Structure 1
């Protein structure tokens, strides 16, 4: 391949579900061809280097980065970004699929918006035969088609900070020294940093990526990561927000933080029985520490959970969860 492509698709080769081949095929079969695919593998047994190398031999647009030691998913993605030559970066995992025509739609939207720093788009999640739209679907649906800044759409911070539902201009990545940290929940601060510093943001109202796992945490995880890494991520995000001077976005980032903590408290297997009270206490401390002046909690049952976290009563929080857990165990008609 000569010259620099428009898109660099960076794929982590960890493949616990046997989806890497399908993922790469969904990218390489796109009608849009001005792209490169950078597959990154470490020496762990979870990486399908044979699949990656087979695609490299069969398609000149594919390259494979072999890391010398087992690495966190953050370092894996950083290594792919360092190798990339495209104008825009797209980070995918082996259990992601691109729908046909999506890369062409992305390229057309980039041109129509005069090459923004970020292009946000939708996704779907497939689990046990059921598919549903991502958490940002409602926010993206309200877009009026014109490029904007975060100051104009601070509500976008209320959406989960994923790396695979956006294109990031490589110039922004290098100019701001963006990088994923080691540990778990590595996307949070990096993607918030990109939003805070993007001069122009645009939306493509397509559900471009399908995720074929129930939860968002990457299977590779991090050799030294813990569930408590998430607290450092939001501390960093609020520090970046303060430096950006976009105080109007604080309530939206706060809402995203609390929703994330509540999600992790309810996520089966993420926290041990011993870890749960300590995690709850840390989450409650962050609630009080980052609570914006005049903040209004969400309505309904979600607002009750916010209040319980604010009050710091783990026993009351657990008691409130029991009816919902019991309903989840009942057979569905």
Structure 2
């Protein structure tokens, strides 16, 4: 049984795939398996995977008969995993040298927690690399472990699947699964953290998160971004089924609403023509799932109040003022 099962979903990434696989297989830590899931990719990604599997027995390739999306591909990979811990790596990203050895050491130092959260960097097409804003928060806990109830600020960390190592026995016991559609990371990441009996942290940067100039779905505006609503609805449904987790609901609700507002404001996500409809869906989700007695954080209170009232014209007017002020500040700095 390997220490790590690294699940790599693959779709239309032939230009990045070799770098991704090399970053895993070239690690100094070698007790691992790579489960690469070809999500019916129309390019040469499947052939590249077969090439790697032919020369390295640690690579197992699963070719899906039809494209099912990132969540389904990850679920399929998990179903075939054998490792003590699960890690997810998107096929246009990569592990930094020494990452898996560092994760292994911290898992031992933390006493084999259910979840270990580690740091990442963003790399850009112009060669820049930018550290995340979570390093100090991750460094503050050392080798201690906590639950989300003891340290709820853990729920404010980046809600993605690939910045965590999950003890596979815990993952399967809790029945964690990715939902179909975009934004599939958010529900599962939060569900894992609130269910975990022990969470460890590693401040080391382990993953290079590639900011693709073109081709990334999160940078392509369109109706696919409406998938965020059923994703968060699934998170709240999960909490309804687990009343013992009710204490986490206000913070998870606040984080979900902050994510929705962020998406509304990003032109690469929600098109201007879709903003009213997106806001209306966000307002509906707000009203349906707001916890009793919920108090918005002061700096977001106005946005949340407008959502609660489904007051898109007021929100749009406020956004116009905000953008004008932003342009004025930029001009003054130029």
- Larger mean CA deviation between 290-299 and 45-54 belongs to 290-299
Q: CA deviation at 1:220?
A: 10
**Separation in structure 1 between the aligned mates of residue 210 and residue 232 of structure 2, nearest angstrom:** 27
Aligned partner (choices 42, 56, 60) of residue 59 of structure 1: 56
Q: CA deviation at 1:228?
A: 2.5
| Cα RMSD (Å) | 2.7
Matched, 1:312 2:310: yes
**Separation in structure 2 between the aligned mates of residue 177 and residue 107 of structure 1, nearest angstrom:** 24
**Separation in structure 1 between the aligned mates of residue 131 and residue 283 of structure 2, nearest angstrom:** 30
In terms of fraction of residues, the more helix-rich structure is 2
**CA contact 1:280–1:309 (8 Å) conserved in 2:** yes
Matched with 2:259 is 260
**Separation in structure 2 between the aligned mates of residue 328 and residue 178 of structure 1, nearest angstrom:** 44
Residues 231-250 of structure 1 mapped to structure 2, 5 A cutoff:
231-242=229-240, 243-250=242-249
Residues 143-292 of structure 1 mapped to structure 2, 5 A cutoff:
143-213=141-211, 219=217, 226-242=224-240, 243-292=242-291
**Separation in structure 1 between the aligned mates of residue 323 and residue 14 of structure 2, nearest angstrom:** 28
Matched with 2:42 is 45
- Larger mean CA deviation between 322-331 and 123-132 belongs to 322-331
Q: CA deviation at 1:119?
A: 0.6
Matched with 1:18 is 15
- Cα distance, 1:310–1:129 mapped onto 2, change above 3 Å: farther
Instruction: Structure 1 unaligned segments of length 5 or more: list them.
Output: none
- Larger mean CA deviation between 263-272 and 20-29 belongs to 263-272
**Separation in structure 2 between the aligned mates of residue 188 and residue 247 of structure 1, nearest angstrom:** 18
Residues 11-160 of structure 1 mapped to structure 2, 5 A cutoff:
11-16=8-13, 18-46=15-43, 48-127=45-124, 128-134=126-132, 136-137=134-135, 139-160=137-158
**Separation in structure 2 between the aligned mates of residue 65 and residue 284 of structure 1, nearest angstrom:** 40
- Cα distance, 1:280–1:191 mapped onto 2, change above 3 Å: same
Q: CA deviation at 1:80?
A: 0.9
Q: Describe the superposition over 1:161-213 as per-residue Cα deviations: whole angstroms up to 9, x where unpaired.
A: 21000011111222122211212211222222222222211111112111112
Q: Output the TM-score relative to the length of structure 1.
A: 0.87
- Cα distance, 1:76–1:276 mapped onto 2, change above 3 Å: same
Count of residue pairs the alignment pairs up = 325
SS in 2 for 1:228: helix
**CA contact 1:41–1:49 (8 Å) conserved in 2:** yes
Q: Describe the superposition over 1:263-302 as per-residue Cα deviations: whole angstroms up to 9, x where unpaired.
A: 21122243344432121122123333333445443344x4
Q: Describe the superposition over 1:62-90 as per-residue Cα deviations: whole angstroms up to 9, x where unpaired.
A: 11111111111111111111111111111
**Separation in structure 1 between the aligned mates of residue 111 and residue 244 of structure 2, nearest angstrom:** 26
Q: Output the TM-score relative to the length of structure 2.
A: 0.87
